Chain A
């Protein structure tokens, strides 16, 4: 089977207050209300670099173990499109912020080719469906927002690796506070099989879609190869269910890159890098090590918890009020299980400590069984609410001693044959009877207590 090779280009909008080259705010509800002469590309306007964006790019470079360039410049990438106010994008082609880094994904090294800064274009929409609209509508609010572009080598061999990598990058960026979920990142991916030319799929807006797009494309290419057809080097887009050929193709030479003469060279020395490094917030790896020590967690628990920043933040809030190891065990296994089942990331739920901690409290006090707690979690993830009240509503509280006694009696009475078998010395039938009582309790009886009750009753 020929080897699948996948590479990624991630465009991540940075969490700065103002745009990359002008002091406009980075978003606004009403179209064209967050613009100025600079980000509209009005004649005569000039760019001035946002220092914070540069610091964020250096931070990300350091977190990805990249070598920060001593000299870095901006280039003009010239092409014509309605969302591009100057019909050139200010980006970094020849001398990016950093190069040659790496990230470990499930023990495998993924090489980072470069990290660079560039400006976002505006956003295009259409008055009606794209195929029947006679014109386009452009909102330049997004124009000029700083983007950090991360380019990997084609080191991935599966969509699973890509998914893990993207989650790691997002977690790192969120821990660095350079990226927030309210902004959407975009991914371009290139896929090739064996010696065949690579196909690029552009502008994918979520991890789920990146995974699907890669899987669709690998399948498509494999089909083509099996049918004896040649794979063409081309650019495609992802429709949601398949990859499709894009209508316009831009070849490399069309861009005519020159350095942007409006922006002087950036010289970044070791002292500046050290200063930025010192100011960096805790990275996921560092957080993991600290949490293992601080909360006495094992590596796999800690790794699962830091995989998403919001989840790690949630854990540390919960661990303030309840046993940290109990919390870790439940969050890194059962909670993640429920999230995965519903195909949700933690940040997509509105689950808070106030909903979750009482569940662990009830477990500790024996008020609910583990099974009941799981059922509670499934409901809370989809609709966070007062968990004590919910447990009562769903009848999940463990039976009181009286209730257990009553239930045990009624179940045993219904199973005279098995009861007699036990009385006659068949101790193996006990497990069957315990099972019957638990089933009747609808998960509200603790197995140990049921056993004690049966034995006591039949003694």
Chain B
């Protein structure tokens, strides 16, 4: 079972599995890419440092879609993880290795995943574990190998909501080494567990339900009924920019990624070639050899979207759509405390089903997670049921820095 790219022998401490795009001092960190094979960071990511301070020990670096480029963890240079519930199915992505490991592990283990467009929620949903993506800027990105700098976030993947709340409390600290780190005092998020959700207003966006398959939709409806019996008020809402969010997300993500990945060129670290040619030839050789197909595709599209003649209609346009998506959510949060929806439109697909998909089909799988990713809002996916014996995840979304609310609702459901 390939969940780990690098295994570390650990005797004591709280076991922590870390997605391989998060730097760990002295331990190989590849971001799932051939171009970073052998890279040993000289420093720990801040989130790792803080987790270690809380007693965690890194037991391994988990496999993933290369640089976070994928929804099924099938774009990995070092092995595709298989869903522990059904080995012919995907773990989801891009943090599939972490989610699969946490789900398959016989004993309790904590996971640190990363999300750009839903890469914590998706594998959590597919593997039947909890995936918590905090508000953008709440957890430091220092030491996280960048996919898209205005979208990336580190968050816990665990067996229970309380475990996720515990780990979040340990890693959510202001970091002066990250300019996008929020200046906020630390909080204990576990206090939100065990609280009643009576009177809490939960909105169900009709667009999200429409985009999910019927069987997934039924499980979500069952889950929201449970929340109702626990005292929550269910309110139908609309998020009209849901469809527009997808292309906007991808244009921004690809544009930023194409600049973030420019540094990988066979110098200073990672894949090397013989220095026998001129610099452009050398760089092109290393990059063509080291990047997988999806990485190349995204770099090309991202480079295109920010070219002088095309920037206005793609990159700038997408940034304006982002403003509309954020306003959409803000309008809704005047009426509800938490949004509830299916995390993914489907259950974990089989690898043969995935092989039939076009690149655009892959991107469209993220339709339910990219709006909240664009907006930078906190979200959590909790397992609420199953279809064909495969887990189904419920997505809970709250306003900026209101992680407490989604933890409260998630924990209440879990305890019911």
Contact flag (A, B; Cβ within 8 A) = yes
B279 contacts A80, C-beta separation under 8 Å: yes
B259 contacts A44, C-beta separation under 8 Å: no
Main secondary structure of the interface of A (DSSP, over half): loop
Give CA–CA (A411, B308) in the complex, Å: 84
Measured between beta carbons, the chain A residues less than 8 angstroms from B308 are 252-253, 255-257
Measured between beta carbons, the chain B residues less than 8 angstroms from A253 are 307-309
B259 contacts A46, C-beta separation under 8 Å: no
User: Which of the 9-residue segments A258-266, A267-275, A434-442, A451-459 touches chain B?
Assistant: A258-266
Q: Does B177 sit within 8 A of A, measured CB to CB?
A: yes
Measured between beta carbons, the chain A residues less than 8 angstroms from B29 are 43-44
Give CA–CA (A143, B142) in the complex, Å: 20
Given contacts A252-B308, A261-B256, A262-B149, contact A46 B263 (CB under 8 A): no
Q: Does B42 sit within 8 A of A, measured CB to CB?
A: yes
Using CB atoms, name the residue of chain A closest to B276.
Answer: A134
Give CA–CA (A47, B263) in the complex, Å: 15
Given contacts A43-B36, A261-B149, contact A76 B259 (CB under 8 A): yes
B256 contacts A43, C-beta separation under 8 Å: no
A131 nearest CB across to chain B (Å) = 12
Q: Does B360 sit within 8 A of A, measured CB to CB?
A: no
B275 contacts A44, C-beta separation under 8 Å: no
Given contacts A82-B267, A135-B275, A263-B179, contact A46 B142 (CB under 8 A): yes
B41 contacts A43, C-beta separation under 8 Å: yes
Q: Does B280 sit within 8 A of A, measured CB to CB?
A: yes
A262 nearest CB across to chain B (Å) = 5
Given contacts A42-B41, A253-B308, A261-B256, contact A85 B263 (CB under 8 A): yes
**Residue-by-residue, is B225-236 near A (CB-CB < 8 Å gives 1, otherwise 0)?**
000000000000
A47 contacts B179, C-beta separation under 8 Å: yes
Q: Does B395 sit within 8 A of A, measured CB to CB?
A: no
B64 nearest CB across to chain A (Å) = 14
Q: Does B350 sit within 8 A of A, measured CB to CB?
A: no
Measured between beta carbons, the chain A residues less than 8 angstroms from B86 are none
Measured between beta carbons, the chain A residues less than 8 angstroms from B117 are none
A48 contacts B179, C-beta separation under 8 Å: yes
Q: Does B169 sit within 8 A of A, measured CB to CB?
A: no
**Residue-by-residue, is B171-189 near A (CB-CB < 8 Å gives 1, otherwise 0)?**
0000011111000000000
Max count, chain B CB within 10 A of own CB: residue among A37, A43, A260: A43
Of A43, A134, A136, A258, which is within 8 A of B263 by CB?
A43
Give CA–CA (A82, B278) in the complex, Å: 10
Using CB atoms, name the residue of chain A closest to B306.
Answer: A256
Q: Does A422 sit within 8 A of B, measured CB to CB?
A: no
Total interface residues in chain B, CB < 8 Å: 46
Of A44, A86, A255, A256, which is within 8 A of B145 by CB?
A44
Using CB atoms, name the residue of chain B closest to A74.
Answer: B179
Using CB atoms, name the residue of chain A closest to B151.
Answer: A261
A82 contacts B279, C-beta separation under 8 Å: yes
B256 nearest CB across to chain A (Å) = 6
Measured between beta carbons, the chain A residues less than 8 angstroms from B65 are none
Using CB atoms, name the residue of chain B closest to A258.
Answer: B306
Given contacts A37-B43, A43-B29, A134-B276, contact A257 B179 (CB under 8 A): no
Given contacts A43-B23, A44-B143, A85-B268, contact A80 B283 (CB under 8 A): yes
Max count, chain A CB within 10 A of own CB: residue among B36, B280, B283, B308: B308
A141 nearest CB across to chain B (Å) = 14
Within 8 A of B (CB), among A31-73: 37, 40-49
Measured between beta carbons, the chain A residues less than 8 angstroms from B306 are 256-258
Within 8 A of B (CB), among A230-265: 252-253, 255-258, 260-264
B142 contacts A45, C-beta separation under 8 Å: yes
Given contacts A44-B146, A253-B308, A258-B306, contact A78 B259 (CB under 8 A): yes
A44 contacts B283, C-beta separation under 8 Å: no
Q: Does A88 sit within 8 A of B, measured CB to CB?
A: yes
Using CB atoms, name the residue of chain B closest to A86.
Answer: B263
Q: Does A126 sit within 8 A of B, measured CB to CB?
A: no
Of A44, A88, A252, which is within 8 A of B262 by CB?
A88
Q: Does A81 sit within 8 A of B, measured CB to CB?
A: yes
Given contacts A40-B268, A253-B309, A256-B306, contact A46 B315 (CB under 8 A): no
A253 nearest CB across to chain B (Å) = 4
A42 contacts B276, C-beta separation under 8 Å: no
Given contacts A37-B42, A49-B179, A264-B179, contact A42 B303 (CB under 8 A): no
Give CA–CA (A340, B144) in the complex, Å: 56
Q: Does A87 sit within 8 A of B, measured CB to CB?
A: yes
Q: Does B161 sit within 8 A of A, measured CB to CB?
A: no
Q: Does B99 sit within 8 A of A, measured CB to CB?
A: no
Q: Does B141 sit within 8 A of A, measured CB to CB?
A: yes
A88 contacts B267, C-beta separation under 8 Å: no
Give CA–CA (A23, B218) in the complex, Å: 55
Measured between beta carbons, the chain A residues less than 8 angstroms from B143 are 44-45
Given contacts A78-B262, A80-B262, A258-B256, contact A43 B269 (CB under 8 A): yes
Within 8 A of A (CB), among B85-114: none
Measured between beta carbons, the chain B residues less than 8 angstroms from A78 are 258-259, 262
Q: Does B265 sit within 8 A of A, measured CB to CB?
A: yes
Measured between beta carbons, the chain B residues less than 8 angstroms from A49 are 179
Of B22, B39, B145, B259, which is within 8 A of A88 by CB?
B259
| Residues of A bordering B, CB below 8 Å | 37, 40-49, 76, 78, 80-82, 85-88, 134-136, 138, 252-253, 255-258, 260-264
Q: State the 5 A-B residue pairs at the shortest beta-carbon distance, nearest first.
A: A87-B262, A261-B150, A253-B308, A261-B149, A256-B306
A-B contact pairs, 21 of them (CB 8 A): A37-B41, A42-B269, A43-B23, A43-B39, A43-B146, A44-B22, A44-B143, A45-B142, A46-B142, A46-B178, A78-B262, A80-B280, A82-B279, A85-B268, A88-B259, A134-B275, A252-B308, A256-B303, A257-B306, A258-B311, A262-B149
| Residues of B bordering A, CB below 8 Å | 22-23, 29, 31, 36, 39, 41-43, 45, 141-146, 148-150, 176-180, 255-256, 258-259, 262-263, 265, 267-269, 275-276, 279-280, 283, 303, 306-309, 311, 315
